[in-house]
Amino acid sequence: MTVDTSVIGRPTGASRVRIERGPVSFFASALQDRNPVYSDPAAAKAAGFTDLPAPPTFSFAMQHMGKVGETQPPDPSNGTHPMNEVMMKLMANGGIVLHGEQDFVFHRPIVVGDVLVSEGKIADLYEKVAKGKTMTFIVMETVWRDELTNEPVITETFNLIHRV
């Protein structure tokens, strides 16, 4: 089956989040990371941060913690996430869905008080055949920028895999 690559470059959505102490400390606690920089502002400042830094994988969850409806930017996908379109067509033939690799590129630390705005897109879509099975890779990229400076803070790349 040849996949329709016309979704490459299409937007996957946009978000705006304010980074808050409670979710940052809770996330670090859930990871069982007891480093005081995640819960003690004095320890964070002594370590060179302006406030509590977010743990490294926090950006994967932050859009679910602190995303307030009326503060959100317009949805560039108009509510039709292209990954869902592709996956629905693939799943019509059965198979399984796997979370592939996830990559985080930090341009600077995420810290409490930041207001970050994201834009996502489908970065790539391709197939590979392994052991007689076709795997379809959907690569999504999200760039989170500082609302004040528009400078990138973190770039996430997320692979979703469908295998027949």
Domain CATH for 24? 3.10.129.10
What is the residue range of 36's domain?
5-163
Residues 163/96, Cβ–Cβ less than 8 Å:
yes
pLDDT tens for 109-162 read: 999 999 999 999 999 999 999 899 999 999 999 999 999 999 999 999 999 999
Instruction: Report pTM.
Output: 0.89
pLDDT tens for 69-90 read: 788 888 888 878 888 888 888 8
When divided into structural domains, the chain yields a total of 1
pLDDT tens for 31-66 read: 999 999 999 999 999 999 999 999 999 998 887 776
Dist. CA 27–CA 114, nearest whole Å: 16
Residues 110/19, Cβ–Cβ less than 8 Å:
yes
Tokens of 37: 């920089």
Dist. CA 39–CA 28, nearest whole Å: 8
